[in-house]
Amino acid sequence: MLAKYHKGDLLSIPVTEGRIAMAQIVEKLGGNVLLAVYPELLDATAPGDLASVELDEPIFLVETMDQNIRERVWPVAGNREVPRDIKVPVYKVWVEPPGEYRVQHIDGTLGAPLSPEEASRMKHQKSYSPAVVEAALRGFHGHGPWHRTYDELTV
């Protein structure tokens, strides 16, 4: 049976043999989730007290498919309130007609028109595979290469 998950769930993401990183579900998005991924590496066999894990400064804020959560590859290790300083991003999207950029919320709803200057400072919404999240964590910790694509995941 596939695992269920909730906003605020803490996930154990494998980084290297015997080491995991923690991530937290910031938003549920149908078949995707917005994750805050944290830098601390923990022992996979005894991650310790999850209450002591620092969840203040994520290294990545990334939208990814929920496949690894539902299949328990990234098991749920607990639940905590999402820190208030983690902001759900808004994006830009080109709307034709009338031929303008508009605000796009993470759930896909459209907002106000954007000036060209505002649009130039915003990103398009993207989702990354769970494999990219794991590879970016390995790269961050020096256990694999760092690719420029991973820069897009950084907070």
27-40 in b/e form (b: 16+ CB < 10 A) is bbbeebbbbbbbee
Q: Print the domain residue range for 40.
A: 9-88+126-153
> 74 CB contacts (<8 Å, ≥6 apart)?
11, 12, 13, 14, 23, 68, 130
Question: Does the structure show a pLDDT above 80 at 6?
Answer: yes
Task: Tell me the percentage of the chain whose pLDDT exceeds 70.
Answer: 97
* Residue 25 counted as domain residue: yes
Answer whether residue 115 is part of any domain. Answer: no
pLDDT band at 56 (very low <50, low <70, confident <90, very high): confident
- Span 80-101, average pLDDT: 94
Please report whether residue 131 resides in a domain: yes
pTM above the 0.85 mark? yes
Contact of 94 with 101, CB cutoff 8 Å: yes
121 is a domain residue: no
pLDDT the model gives residue 48: 67
Instruction: Specify the number of domains making up the chain.
Output: 1
Q: pLDDT at residue 47 above 70?
A: no
Asked, for residue 19, whether it belongs to a domain, the answer is yes
* Mean pLDDT on 80-95: 95
When pLDDT is cut at 50, 70 and 90, the band that residue 51 belongs to is low
pLDDT at site 124: 95
Distance (Å, whole) CA 95 – CA 83: 33
